Amino acid sequence: MLEKLRSRKKLQLVIGTLIGFCFGFLLQRGGVTRYDVIMGQLLLYDWTVAKIILSAIATGMLGVYYMKKRGLAHLHIKAGSVGATVVGGLIFGAGFGILGYCPGTMAGAVGQGSLDALLGGVLGMLLGAGLYAQIYPVLSKSILKAGDFGELTFPDLFRKRNTWTVVCCFFLGILLFLVVLETAGL
Amino acid sequence: MNDLNEHVSEKFAKSRVIIGSLLATSLITIWSAIGDPFVVECWAQQDGILQSESIWTMERWSPYAVGILIGILSWISFLISDKPLGVSTAYARSAGMIEKTFRGSAVEEKAYYSKYVPRIGWEWMLVIGLIAGAFTSATLSGEFQFRYVPTLWEQTFGHTPLKRWLVALVGGTVMGMGARWADGCTSGHGISGTLQLVVSSWIALACFFVGGVAAAYMIY
């Protein structure tokens, strides 16, 4: 039944829109579509962004690993390498800090009427993605391959037979971090 | 065979208990730290008078409630669409679509666009929905407003839209390139990848923030 539902292309576009709607609603209501909140995080005085990301990870992880175990979900693991993940991540970060939105929250900012996101950020993002497609053939033969670590997850890395040990460690680690944040009054 | 079945179901029962208790602990922690995040009526201080407010018109929800709900949204997305939440691919496909209107279908032969075909798909609709969802939320809370310059920017750099536009354009370009370079953004890597415990996603998330904090301190 699930396979059937997933293969219905038009219905999936509707589902995608609905999921996006909820995502956008939540991002806006969480405050992270605001430039001031994101810059507050990057200037380390407003930890809203970290709180949202970490509680989403903790919640999502439990459900997704549970569904995986029951055969209800597949993991979608992104391969990485030092050249792609670290270099690309730092470039992304620099742009993120200059712009003050990330791609998802920028779309949300457009929805709340922020014109700097629509006319500056979105336009730049399209330019950047287009430029990347232009230089991709060169990059893919060189830097993207440097220090390849493939499609790796932490349960694979620690070679634990019981994935749940790793899941629990991450969960408790996140919980501890959030408790420390709250205790510190951030 | 029966033994094996029992063994498996016992393992399931165990994992269920573990998940249940972890969820309970986190809920209690949140409850005690910030108060019930799911209250329908909430008290807000306005002009020194306490007023009750409905959750739909509240300007902000607790970040923990929002995070947990995004986590649950990712379960739904994995379950019924077999897709992780991710945003930046849609920008790449749009860039391809725009290029296609100028240069025709030759664009699809570019190595990158044969990997990410410039067509409307699930992620693209996700972004459209995202804009609509944010618009609805902002309208309900009365937050919707056309703004060219954010408050924090205005306090430091003044209200000239051109300056903010240029910086946003440059930032967007760098970020757009970085998102494709790292193969994901704050949603694709930062939430969806990390929740699957993918090593590259945790590294990417750390790099996003290292780069972001460095850039933010250089600007302010």
pLDDT in tens, A64-90: 999 999 999 999 999 999 999 999 999
Say how far apart CA A167 and CA A58 lie, in whole Å. Answer: 9
Q: Using the beta-carbon criterion (under 8 Å), do B220 and A43 form an inter-chain contact? A: yes
Question: What is the full per-residue pLDDT of chain A (186 aa) written as tens digits?
Answer: 889 999 998 899 999 999 999 999 999 999 999 999 999 999 999 999 999 999 999 999 999 999 999 999 999 999 999 999 999 999 999 999 999 999 999 999 999 999 999 999 999 999 999 999 999 999 999 999 999 989 999 999 988 678 999 999 999 999 999 999 999 988
- Per the prediction, chain B carries an average pLDDT of 86
pLDDT for the residue numbered B104: 87
* pLDDT range class, residue B105, cuts 50, 70, 90: confident
Across the interface, of B19, B122, B208, the residue whose CB is closest to A96 is B208
Q: Is A169 on the interface with B (CB under 8 A)?
A: no
- Three-state SS string over B93-152 comes to HHHHHHHHHHHHHHHHHCHHHHHCCCCCCHHHHHHHHHHHHHHHHHHHCCCCCCECCCHH
Q: How many CB atoms lie within 10 A of CB B76?
A: 15
Chain B: closest CA distance from residue A61 (Å)? 4
pLDDT for the residue numbered B106: 87
Say how far apart CA A60 and CA B220 lie, in whole Å. Answer: 34
Q: Are B49 and B133 in contact (CB under 8 A)?
A: no
Say how far apart CA B114 and CA A146 lie, in whole Å. Answer: 23
Q: Is A56 on the interface with B (CB under 8 A)?
A: yes
Across the interface, of A14, A80, A127, the residue whose CB is closest to B203 is A80
pLDDT for the residue numbered B52: 66
pLDDT, tens digit, 9 for 90 and up, residues B22-35: 676 666 656 555 55
What is B11-71 written as a DSSP string?
A: HHHHHHHHHHHHHHHHHHHHHHHH--TT-SEEEEEETTEEEEEETTT-S---HHHHHHHHH
pLDDT, tens digit, 9 for 90 and up, residues B117-155: 999 999 999 999 999 999 999 999 999 999 999 999 999
Q: Are A65 and B134 in contact (CB under 8 A)?
A: no
Say how far apart CA B73 and CA A23 lie, in whole Å. Answer: 8
Across the interface, of B72, B207, B211, the residue whose CB is closest to A59 is B72
pTM, 2 dp: 0.88
CA B53 to chain CA centroid, Å, is 26
Judging contacts by C-beta atoms under 8 Å, the chain B residues touching residue A167 are: 197
Residue in this structure with the two tokens 């699809």, named with its chain if needed: B108
* pLDDT range class, residue B1, cuts 50, 70, 90: very low
Q: Using the beta-carbon criterion (under 8 Å), do A28 and B143 form an inter-chain contact? A: yes
pLDDT beyond 70 at B46: no
